[in-house]
Structure 1
Amino acid sequence: MADERVCLGVITSAHGVRGMVKIKPFTETPGDVAAYGPVTLDSGKQLTITVKSLNKGMVLAAIDGVDSREAADDLRGAAFHVERSALPEPDEDSIYQADLIGRRVEDPSLGPIGEVIGVHDFGAGSMLEVKRPDASPVLIPFGGDNRMELLDGLIRLSVNPVWLEE
C-alpha cells in the first residue's frame, strides 16, 4: 500500500464562536470521523475530534484545544487522517476507496484505460479519477449500474468511450 494513512474528512468551516467546526466526512457513516482515535493533519499536528451532531451529511464537531472561532478558522480546509491499521478490515464484498488508488483500470471491450489517482464524489455519485498514459486524466463513474470487478491490482468496469474524449 503506497500510503499507510487514510483521509477521514476535511474541516470546511468554523461554526459559532466557541471553536466548533463543520467537517465533510469521507467515512461511510459520517459520525465515524471520530471513531478511530486521534487524527493527524498533513502538518503532523494531532487532533482529538468529538462529534456533536450530524446534519445533511456534514459533521458538527469540537476539537480539543480549539476554543475560539479564530482557532477553528485556522483549520479551514485541513484534511485529517488516521493510520490505515486503525481501521477495521472491510467486509469481503467491500473496499476502502483509498485502496483503489494506484490500481489499473480496464474495460472488457476497450482494454487498458489507465491508473486510479483519485476517488471523488461531487454529489452525483462516486467517480474514479484515472490517469491515462498519453492523455489527460478522466473521471469515470462507478457504483449503481456501473459495477466494478476487483482483481489483483486491477479494476475492471464498463467505460463509455464518450468519457475518454478530450
Structure 2
Amino acid sequence: MTDKLITIARIKGAHGVKGEARIQSFTAAPDACFTYGPFLDKDGEAFLTPLKWRRQKDEFIVTFREALTREEVAALRGRELCAPRAALPEPDPDEFYITDLIGLTVQTVDGEPAGRVAAVQNFGAGDLLEIDGPEGRFYLPFTRDAVPAVDIAAGRITIDPPVLDEVEENG
C-alpha cells in the first residue's frame, strides 16, 4: 500500500469469553475510529472489521466480523490498528497528523537549515519534535513558541529553539 497509514486505535486486551476486544481509540472523536472501514495492520492489509462496539469508561468493547476466540484476542494485545491517511478527515488549522510532519525540513526563524523531523514523541509532558540536525539528533517542544510555523504544503517547519544559558562552574 502506498498511502501513509495512521494508527487510530490499539487493542488493549480481551473482554469476556465471546471474543470481544477492549480497544483504545486515538481519534479526536473516540468512536470515529470505527468509521474508516476495516482496521489495517502495519503493512496496510485489512486486518479486523468492527461489527459492534460500545463505550466502557475510556475504552470500547468491540465485536469483530471475524470470529475470534478470547485467546486469539488476548494474543493481539498491544496491536496497533491503522487506517489510510486518505480516509481520515483533514485536520483543523493548527492541527496536524504526526505522519504529515515526519520528514519535513526544519529551519530556524533566521532561515538556517536545522535538519529534518525524524519523529514526534510524547514522554508524558507534551509533544516533542525529534529532529535529525547537522550536529546530531535533538528534541524540541512542539509548542507555538518553539515552533512558530508549520507549512505542510511547503514541506517545512520553522523553529525558534530556546537559548540555553551557559552554566558556570564555581571553583
The TM-score range, normalised by the shorter chain, is: 0.7 to 0.9
SS in 2 for 1:123: coil
1:116 equivalent to 2:129? Answer: no
CA RMSD of aligned residues (A): 2.8
Q: Which amino acid aligns with 1:13?
A: G
1:101 equivalent to 2:86? Answer: no
Q: Which amino acid aligns with 2:23?
A: I
Q: Distance in 1 between matches of 2:128 and 2:160?
A: 13
Instruction: Kindly name which structure, 1 or 2, has the bigger radius of gyration based on alpha carbons.
Output: 2
Equivalent pairs, count: 159
Shift in CA distance, 144/8, structure 1 to aligned 2, threshold 3 Å:
same
Q: Distance in 2 between matches of 1:52 and 1:145?
A: 40
Report the TM-score, using the length of structure 1 for normalisation.
Answer: 0.75
Q: Aligned-pair distance for 1:76?
A: 1.7
Contact 1:52 1:62 in 2 (8 A): no
Shift in CA distance, 117/10, structure 1 to aligned 2, threshold 3 Å:
farther
Gaps of at least 5 residues in structure 1 are none
Q: Aligned-pair distance for 1:102?
A: 0.9
> What is aligned with 1:156?
158
Contact 1:120 1:126 in 2 (8 A): yes
Report the TM-score, using the length of structure 2 for normalisation.
Answer: 0.73
State the Cα deviation string for residues 25-50 of structure 1 (Å, max 9, x = none).
33222222112111211252421124
Q: Aligned-pair distance for 1:10?
A: 2.3
Of residues 38, 52, 55, the one that matches 1:53 is 55
Q: Distance in 2 between matches of 1:9 and 1:25?
A: 4
> What is aligned with 1:22?
22
Residue identity (%): 32
> What is aligned with 1:88?
89
